[in-house]
Chains A and B, each alone.
Chain A
Amino acid sequence: MMNGKKIAAAFAWVESPSAVNTAIKVLAALCGLLFLLDFVIHRHTYVPGEGMWGFYAFTGFIAFTLIVLGAKTLRTLILRDENYYGEQSVDSEEYPASQLAIESDQEDAK
């Protein structure tokens, strides 16, 4: 599909490390800007402490990090083999291919 190709092309920059670096810099700049806006715009607040500058920025960064670290720790405790529950669980089997239409994009393969 023509449109699809264009969309894919618009996202092709993710392949280039330098473009990804630029994107990260843009994100960092955006974060910096948002952080600084706290000093300019007075946020309307209900909760004590919510009005503190950088409240949402810190919460976002720290909460995300702690969630990832927490999940990583959790994984060491509860990760098991896919066949753990044997054939009582769909994790151990492939999805029946007869119900699917697994096809490769021939054009792209060329």
Chain B
Amino acid sequence: MSWLIPPLLFFYGAFLCLVVGRKQRTFITLLIPVVALFSLLMLPMGNMAQVQFLGFELIFVRLDKLAFVFSLIFIIAAFLASIYAWHVNDKVQQVSTLLYAGAALGGVLAGDLITLFLYWEITAVASVFLIWARRTPAAYATGMRYLLIQVGSGVLLLAGLLVHYNDTGSILFEHMGLVSTGTLLIFLAFGIKCAFPLMHNWLQDSYPAATVTGTVVLSSFTTKMAVYALARGYAGEEILIYIGAIMTLFPIFFAEIENDLRKVLAYSLNNQLGFMVVGVGIGTELALNGTAAHAFCHILYKSLLFMSVGAVLYRTGTSKASELGGLYKTMPVTMVCCLIGAASISAFPLFSGFISKSLILDASAKNGYYLVWFALVVASAGVLSHSGIKIPYFTFFAHDSGKRPMEAPVHMRIAMIITAALCVIIGVFPSLLYQLLPYEVDYKPYTTSHVLAQMQLLCFALLAFVFLMRKGIHPPEVRGINLDSDWAYRKGLPSILAMSAAGATQIATKAREGLQAQASDWVFTIRRLSAPGGLLAKGWGVNSMVFVVTLLLLLVLFLNLK
């Protein structure tokens, strides 16, 4: 049985894809998630697939309710992404998708830190091929930046794990808390993959650079594996509440002015992670349920949004808002799916975001984090602005771009419709999701007061949008990029290095010139002295010779006096 655990099934699939032909590959990418789902459902709770390795006991599967809900959604996401990528005839992408999904699953099921580290690094290496598969020089450069940061996170994890083992003698992956250097290093490793503020820019840099289908795959796994890892190791760590609150707020502004819609979605992903991190930071049963539920819903609606923008890119060749508009005429199914994704992420009642986000908001209010709670409410209005309105409005409506692309291919439509249906089903029947959550759920999202509050928030935010558009205050979509903190290592640091290099060269040149001038001065003086008629070359008279000899004798006498 331990040879048939879900992560291994994905690896077998990846290996098979390496050797079989095109049709079989496509089939395998669809089949593996289905088989893995059965395997997951048949796994008993608890530890299994334990292996002795260099005196350590590695636990490849530790299944409990928290791991189960993340594993389940990862498998669903892999399946939906495979349907969406039905047309892809690219061995690189198919193999790396399976490897990547399997490794993320393995990370979630890992029961010890060494196993976690192993999968942590496989996700990094496997996923970069989804960026490189775009096969342009820019994608190559972006992939290298992505890989450096991802592998860097793994190195931090390894360092932390070693220190932690040295301190405690344990490699178990369980609640650690921020108590030592080791746990701090592990925390930072998780933080990088979770896109904490100032460690976030790899996400917005790389996801929009991936292939149409690659971005859909990427959006599901790495960051949610990190959220899971935080929930496992650092639940209730108060600093996470504030980190999360900042994460919900700052990406909103960047998303609002970003032109590339896939980058808008990457910022919005970052913002959604903030809600989950707040949940982990509060750490109560209600809050952790909220984090798990929100991760589940978020993977679905974020995939859906990336799918719909991806379909537009696939048909028009661009995902830039300034080049799009009016596409509802010829891509109506994509448009409706996009609207459902937008309503879900904005947390309209009857859509999935509503029933998951409110768990986290309520947890923050009940535990007295009023300021954080208010930040989350404001961020919710912000989500509506960039994901709820901007994505569908500027793509499918707004000014007519004149583009009349074909509707998305059938398999893309099927993937989007299933995903959209899941968003609505979860929104309408929240108990379906609630019963999967790690703790008992005693929560009713559909109370009059809650629905009213959310509708007021969203409708008035929508009204503000209409008002700002009518008054011409809302910023138009323009071509261009917006700087983010990655400027520091992409431009700032290199230019400082270049400047210091130039400075050093200049100093060296000056020094050499100075020395040369000095040396030629000396040469000139010696020449002058020894030239015909010079002081040293003069004929000396007998008198002066006797004088010099007397001086020398006196000197000798003087030196021998003592």
Using CB atoms and an 8 Å cutoff, list the residues of chain A in contact with chain B. Answer: 1, 3-5, 7-8, 11, 14, 24, 27-28, 30-31, 34-35, 37-38, 41-48, 50, 54, 56-65, 67-72, 74-75, 78-82, 84-85, 87-97, 99-105, 108-109
Residue of A nearest to B334 (CB): A4
B462 touches A27 (CB 8 A): yes
Stretch binding the partner chain, chosen from B98-106, B138-146, B150-158, B195-203: B138-146
Closest B residue, CB atoms, query A35? B456
Interchain CB contact under 8 A, B405 and A102: yes
User: Does residue B553 face the partner (Cβ distance < 8 Å to A)?
Assistant: no
Please provide the 10 A-B residue pairs with the shortest distance between their CB atoms, ordered closest to farther: A71-B256, A60-B460, A7-B332, A56-B456, A64-B464, A46-B365, A43-B449, A63-B381, A60-B457, A60-B461
Which residue of B135, B141, B329, B336 contacts A89 across the interface (Cβ within 8 Å)? Answer: B141
A42 and chain B: residue at smallest CB distance? B449
Indicate whether A11 sits within 8 Å of B257 (C-beta atoms), given known contacts A99-B211, A100-B317.
no
Please indicate the chain B residues that have their CB under 8 angstroms from the CB of A41 in the complex. Answer: 448-449, 452
- Residue tally, chain B, CB below 8 Å to A: 86
Contact, CB under 8 Å: B480 / A67: no
Say whether B481 contacts A94, CB under 8 Å.
no
Question: Residues of B contacting A89 with CB < 8 Å?
Answer: 138, 141-142, 205, 209, 481
B257 and A71 form a contact (CB under 8 A): yes
Chain B residue numbers with a CB within 8 Å of A103 are 315, 405-406
- Give the docked Cα–Cα distance between A93 and B136 (Å): 9
- Is A104 touching B406 in the complex (CB atoms < 8 A)? yes
Least Cβ–Cβ distance between A88 and chain B, in angstroms: 4
Chain B binding surface SS class: helix
Q: Which residues of B contact A50 (CB under 8 A)?
A: 365
Binds A, one of B61-69, B370-378, B517-525: B370-378
Residues of B participating in the A interface, judged by any CB pair closer than 8 Å? 87, 134-139, 141-142, 205, 208-209, 211-212, 252-254, 256-257, 260, 313-319, 328-330, 332-333, 335-336, 362, 365-366, 370, 373-374, 377-378, 381-382, 384-385, 397, 403-407, 409, 447-450, 452-468, 473-475, 478-484, 490-491
Of chain B, the residue at the smallest CB distance from A105 is: B330
Quick one: closest A residue to B256, CB to CB?
Answer: A71
Task: Collect the chain B residues with CB atoms within 8 Å of residue A3's CB.
Answer: 333
Are the C-beta atoms of A104 and B404 separated by less than 8 Å? yes
Q: In the complex the two chains form, is B257's CB within 8 Å of A79's CB?
A: yes
Residues in A whose Cβ lies below 8 Å from that of B318:
94-95
Q: Which B residues touch A4, using CB under 8 A? A: 332-333, 407
Q: Report chain A residues within 8 Å CB of B459.
A: 27, 30-31, 34, 60
Residue contact B405 to A80, C-beta cutoff 8 Å? no
Shortest CB–CB separation between residue B310 and chain A, in angstroms? Answer: 10
The distance from the CB of A91 to the nearest CB of chain B, in whole angstroms, is 5
When the two chains form their complex, are residues A64 and B333 in contact, meaning their CB atoms are under 8 A apart? no
CB atoms of B404 and A109 under 8 A apart: yes
Which residue of chain A has its CB nearest to the CB of B141?
A88
Do the beta carbons of B336 and A7 come within 8 Å of each other? Answer: yes
The residue on A at minimum CB distance from B389 is A64
The 8 Å CB contact of A64, one of B136, B137, B385, is: B385
Q: Determine the chain A residues whose CB is within 8 A of the CB of B405 once the complex forms.
A: 102-105
Q: Which residue of the partner chain, among B137, B447, B461, B464, contacts A87 with CB atoms under 8 Å?
A: B137
29 contacts between A and B (CB under 8 A): A7-B336, A31-B463, A34-B455, A34-B456, A43-B453, A47-B370, A48-B370, A56-B377, A57-B460, A59-B377, A59-B381, A60-B460, A61-B460, A61-B463, A64-B465, A68-B474, A71-B256, A78-B482, A79-B482, A82-B479, A85-B491, A89-B141, A90-B209, A97-B317, A99-B212, A100-B314, A101-B406, A105-B330, A105-B406
Chain A proximity of B208: nearest CB distance (Å):
7
| Known A38-B456, A78-B482; contact A94-B404, beta-carbon cutoff 8 A | no
By beta carbon, the residue of chain A nearest B210 is A90
- Contact call A74/B253, Cβ cutoff below 8 A: yes
- Give Cα A17–Cα B136 distance, bound, in whole angstroms: 43
Q: Would you call B141 and A60 a contact (CB within 8 A)? A: no
The answer to whether A56 touches B457, judged by C-beta atoms less than 8 angstroms apart, is yes
* 9 other A-B residue contacts (CB within 8 Å) besides A31-B456, A105-B330: A8-B332, A38-B456, A57-B457, A68-B464, A74-B254, A101-B314, A102-B315, A103-B406, A105-B404
A56 adjacent to B453 (CB under 8 Å): yes
Alpha-carbon separation in the docked complex, A89 to B464 (Å): 35
A-side contacts of B460, CB under 8 Å: 31, 34, 56-61, 64
Please give the distance in Å from A13's CB to the nearest CB on chain B.
11
Report the bound CA distance from A47 to B377 in whole Å.
12
A26 to chain B, nearest CB (A): 11
A96 touches B256 (CB 8 A): no
Q: Which of B205, B252, B404 is close to A108, meaning CB atoms less than 8 Å apart?
A: B404
- Given A96-B135, A101-B409, A103-B406, A64-B384 contact (CB < 8 Å): yes
Which among B209, B462, B463, B468 has the greatest number of chain A C-beta atoms within 10 A?
B463
State the Cβ distance, A81 to closest chain B Cβ, in Å: 6
Q: Which A residues are CB-close (under 8 A) to B328?
A: 8, 11, 14
Chain A positions within 8 Å of B138 at CB level: 87-90, 92-93
- The CA of A95 and the CA of B366, in the complex, are separated in Å by 48
User: A42-B449, A60-B459, A67-B385 are known contacts. Are A108 and B329 too (CB-CB below 8 A)?
Assistant: yes
Task: Specify which chain A residues have a CB less than 8 angstroms from the CB of B475 in the assembled complex.
Answer: 68, 71-72, 75
Q: Could you tell me the distance in whole angstroms from the C-beta of A87 to the nearest C-beta in chain B?
A: 5
Contacts of A67 in B (CB 8 A): 252-253, 256, 378, 381-382, 385
Q: Is B480 within 8 A of A81, CB to CB?
A: yes
